[in-house]
Structure 1
């Protein structure tokens, strides 16, 4: 092992002891969200995301809704109406459909085969406690302005248009969902419709960051290792915003990076094709030397290639 490689490994191991350790999966994220972020929010004035309901913690990461605290009335699903669930502000269906793994087996396949999907599913800036029934009704609908629909959940002002597949959260949540959505699309390189961009930009302006949202950001940043720049004001969204894709190019877990350095020293560079999103190994992959120079993306390990959203070429043996 060269002196350079030893020094690089030492730097990686040092960083693994000093940087935050984000949750590795959705189950872990829910537990961390309860214990380190929303631990004192069950009886707070802002309540859950969509209805402002208070709740009592129950089990590892769940809770029981107090409907009287927010005037909540069940629409159809009594069991889900009575419990707290963890809402993905940007639904897993939405970001999953922009990953190749979804085409080969949906969410289950993405969880097992795509490290980037797992990172998105467990990203704490995209998780917020909400009434289970509203979470279920919102489903994977985009946010939108819902008109002509009477209140569906008693005094809860969130409305869902099932025909138009749109959900309009209560005013108190509009700024939060806008800035969380900007963060996810920016960090993970997702594509957003122009109409959705314009709506969320309007909500971002109309409902500025609150004291609680700043605190939520601070608590979450301690776990994730970085803040939401759309909450801190370090970044803003404009129509046609070019995503930074920070999670795809710069956020390789320290342990994986250390393994990558060791593996690269013995196996050589792995070549990815930026067009097909597949990668080729130096040995066992017939197309390794057939990727045009302009389309080549080098990786130090398979873990790094997978983390960037690539999959192994099918003709590799």
Structure 2
């Protein structure tokens, strides 16, 4: 009977926004993430996001990585490799560039002036402890399949292709990464390239939700007031999926929401360096036909036009 009452109470806590208290800033989110989500995970078998390394907590939200626990070898930055950092699974650069505030003054301006950006930056679903060096190397790269790259971090199987600007995380978290990305793009109504959608859909299918991912989702839901519907199975991402948005995104004035003209994730606007024609991820048939060697990513249509590119004539 007691167990049944606990389960019912947990379920109510997860789904009730009235009981939630989401962090308001990224700084606050890191502390909350430590205390409410990952406190007992520092020495778990799952380990950090990219390498599965264990760590010990230091200070309010930091950590010191146990490199031997995962066979990690620093690629270049030993000091940074020895500390944990909070990785945004969907980089702040990616969602920030789809906000007008970023165009007007970068990340600091977004933090100061845009409540939706602050909500995205502090969203606990998007945060995960990571080996600092790998977090830095991943930068704002899109996820991708990385081939022809020798092991970079000892026994850590995450790969970074600096030339192609792509990051392939270890198999154990590919599903989690995919479903987190779907959540962020859905809740905050972001634009995702067709190529990225196809890759993440494959990872979602190949790597089903694990017991830890379910537990993580429940812990975060108790703080945020809602679960990730792509983890619970309430929603499924399909090619061309139309983001539904969430309460935070819906409360932002329409003029502040991202448009195709201001969208600027790596891959949302692609130019062909040979023809000097650019294509949008939505409405341009030639978008997926530009050879990778000829691709140039732009932050907005205005940037593409300023660089001498013109919009493809077959865009709807």
- Aligned partner of residue 57 in structure 2, secondary structure: strand
- Aligned residue pairs total 244
Give the TM-score of the pair, scaled to structure 2: 0.74
Taking the aligned partners of 1:177 and 1:141, their CA distance within structure 2 comes to 13
Deviations 1:32-58 (A, max 9, x none): 000000010000001000000000000
Instruction: State the 1:17 CA deviation.
Output: 9.7
**How much has 1:130 moved relative to structure 2?**
0.6
* 1:63 lines up with 2:66 in the alignment: no
RMSD: 1.9
Q: Work out which of the two has the higher radius of gyration on C-alpha atoms and give 1 or 2.
A: 1
What is residue 128 of structure 2 aligned with on the other side?
Answer: 128
Aligned-partner Cα distance in 2 for 1:275–1:20: 25
Give the C-alpha shift of residue 274 in structure 1: 8.1
For the residue of structure 2 that corresponds to 1:160, the secondary structure is strand
Q: Is the alpha carbon distance of 1:112 and 1:206 closer, same or farther for their aligned partners in structure 2, counting shifts above 3 Å? A: same
Shift of 1:198: 0.3
Q: Secondary structure at the residue paired with 1:50? A: coil
C-alpha separation in 2, matches of 1:274 and 1:98: 10
Task: Verify: 1:168 aligned to 2:168, yes or no.
Answer: yes
For structure 1, list consecutive stretches of 5 or more residues without a partner in the other structure: 1-15, 253-270, 278-317
SS of equivalent residue, structure 2 residue 84: strand
Partner of 1:149: 149
Query: What is the deviation of 1:19?
Result: 2.9
| 1:188 and 1:247 in contact (8 A); partners too | no
Cα contact 2:95–2:190 (8 A) shared by 1:
yes
CA distance in 1, matches of 2:117, 2:251: 13
What secondary structure sits across from 1:87 in the alignment?
strand
1:295 maps to what in 2?
Answer: none
Contact kept? 2:187, 2:249, Cα under 8 Å: no
TM-score normalised by the chain length of structure 1: 0.74
Unmatched runs of 5 consecutive residues or more in structure 2: 1-15, 260-316
Aligned to 2:178: 178
Give the 3 Å change call, closer, same or farther, for CA 43–274 of structure 1 in structure 2: closer
**Cα distance, 1:248 vs structure 2:** 4.2
Alpha carbons 1:89, 1:128 under 8 Å: kept? yes
Listed as ranges, the matches of 1:184-263 within 5 Å are 184-248=184-248, 250=250
